[in-house]
Amino acid sequence: MLVVKKFGGTSVANKERILNVARRCVEDYQKGYDVVVVLSAMGKSTDELIAMARDINPNPSKRELDMLVTTGEQVSVSMLALALGSMRIPAISLNAFQVAMHTTHRYGNARLKRIDTDRIFNELEQRKIVIVTGFQGIDKFDNITTLGRGGSDTTAVALAAALRADACEIFTDVDGVYTADPRHVKTARKLEQITYDEMLELSTLGAGVLHNRSVELAKKYGVVLVVRSSLNDHEGTIVKEELDVEKMLVSGVAADKNAARIAVIGLKDEPGIAFHLFNSLASKNINVDIILQSVGRDGTKDISFTVEEDVADEAVAILQKSFPRNEYKMIDLDKAVAKVSIVGAGMQTNPGVAATMFEALYDAGVNIRMISTSEIRVTVLIDEDNTDRALRSVHNKFDLD
């Protein structure tokens, strides 16, 4: 039996928590299991390292930022190895370079390509607990890269797939995946199970409990995930392909405040304009989400869309460069917006779900600015100030409590 156990930042925030993680690993080790542990950096240390970088250079190079933040995970893995050593349990910590976790070259948001398993299997054969740094990788030139914020989940799932693990447990600071972020919606309820597809939508739409790419990988390689608390023995949530329980109409609601709306007003109403606009953003790796185009009038049209707030200024600058000043009237940027979404596999076969969501927003007096849907989700763009009120009203309307 080979288990991969991942612990997030709060689960390794201090000495007591690290000792707690050590004990949980030893339990499995003493059952005779092979234990591979993936850790995040202690507490808020990734945030602190980023702040430190920005303090000395407000515009830090992405390469150096990755070099810096990956030290956080190196601290936690060695601390756990030391803790296990103090209990006389053989353990070894390994960073991405030592394992050889190969990624693409994109600093700050690299993708895992291949993981060498020889070293890990070798250490496991010697009956050691193997502790691997989450979040980090190396590119083909041996530069250190990171997988994006929250990326340790993805390291864990990728390792579970590469090692053909029998179980992959994601330990965090809540009891599992809830119908909404339990920190914002007090009545949120823990889900026993959720499908990969639903979880992928939820995590992409703001449910930070799992890194969305980890869910993508879990689905691709059929890794069943268990999300549970590192601080108690409650059962947690199982993330897998098909549910044994009845499908819910709506499984959860999520909010994402890291959104901005850009409106390009008064574009020429002729073929090729949308292509030119979105192609110029795509060529600079800017992801566009909800898109709305107005009906053409007097030879002009408006195109609005959302991007992540962090890249909104860059997106506007790209558009200003791509379109001569006389080809549009103005570009409007609004950062004070948020996306609120409902996700549920049951939606596919039940009409009226979107209408119910809109009714909940109406009840809460929340105006909808944009709408987008897929087979299993409805997303609305609203004013950021209304986020929590909208979340609670929608959660309540679908009886998710």
247 binds ligand ASP, rule: CB under 6 A: no
**Beta strands 2-7 and 34-39: pairing type?**
parallel
Whether 386 and 364 have beta carbons less than 8 Å apart is answered as: yes
Q: Which listed option, Mg ion, ligand ASP, ligand ADP, none, makes contact with residue 134 (CB within 5 to 8 Å by class)?
A: ligand ASP
Interacting residue ranges for ligand ADP, rule: CB under 6 A = 8-11, 40, 150, 172-174, 177-178, 180-183, 207-209, 252
149 binds ligand ASP, rule: CB under 6 A: yes
Q: Which two tokens stand for residue 323?
A: 């379109």
Q: How far is CA 271 from CA 277, 279, 282, in A?
A: 12, 14, 19
Q: Which is nearer to Mg ion, 149 or 268 (CB)?
A: 149
How far apart are CB 230 and ligand ADP at their closest, in Å? 8
Q: Which listed option, Mg ion, ligand ASP, ligand ADP, none, makes contact with residue 174 (CB within 5 to 8 Å by class)?
A: ligand ADP
C-alpha 246/C-alpha 16 separation (Å) is 40
Q: Which is nearer to ligand ASP, 136 or 237 (CB)?
A: 136
Question: Which residues, including other chains, have CB under 8 Å from residue 148's CB and lie 6 or more apart?
Answer: 108, 109, 110, 211, 213
150 binds ligand ASP, rule: CB under 6 A: yes
How far apart are CB 25 and ligand ADP at their closest, in Å? 16
Region of residue 254 (left: phi > 0; alpha: psi -120 to 50; beta: else): beta
Q: Which is nearer to ligand ADP, 72 or 150 (CB)?
A: 150
Part in contact with ligand ASP (CB under 6 A); list of ranges 150-158, 197-205, 218-226, 293-301: 150-158
Provide the edge-to-edge strand list for the sheet that holds 300-308. 291-293, 300-308, 252-268, 330-343, 377-383, 370-374
151 binds ligand ASP, rule: CB under 6 A: yes
Question: Which residues, including other chains, have CB under 8 Å from residue 249's CB and lie 6 or more apart?
Answer: 344, 346, 347, 350, 353, 398
How far apart are CB 152 and Mg ion at their closest, in Å? 7
How far apart are CB 281 and ligand ASP at their closest, in Å? 25
Interacting residue ranges for Mg ion, rule: CB under 5 A = 8, 150
User: In degrees, to the nearest 5, what angle opens at C-alpha 290 toward C-alphas 112 and 111?
Assistant: 5
How far apart are CB 292 and ligand ASP at their closest, in Å? 32
Whether 155 and 213 have beta carbons less than 8 Å apart is answered as: no
Sole binder of ligand ASP in the list 29, 33, 107, 135 (CB under 6 A): 135
Q: Which is nearer to ligand ADP, 11 or 95 (CB)?
A: 11
Whether 101 and 154 have beta carbons less than 8 Å apart is answered as: no
Which stretches within 222-376 are classed as H helix?
273-282, 312-322, 353-363
How far apart are CB 74 and ligand ASP at their closest, in Å? 11
218 binds ligand ASP, rule: CB under 6 A: no
Question: Which residues, including other chains, have CB under 8 Å from residue 191's CB and lie 6 or more apart?
Answer: 176, 177, 178, 179, 237, 251, 252
152 binds ligand ASP, rule: CB under 6 A: yes
C-alpha 155/C-alpha 211 separation (Å) is 10
How far apart are CB 162 and Mg ion at their closest, in Å? 20
8 binds ligand ASP, rule: CB under 6 A: yes
Q: Which is nearer to ligand ADP, 180 or 248 (CB)?
A: 180
Classified as helix, coil or strand, 84 is helix
Q: Which residues bind ligand ASP (CB under 6 A)?
A: 8-9, 40-41, 46, 72, 134-135, 149-152
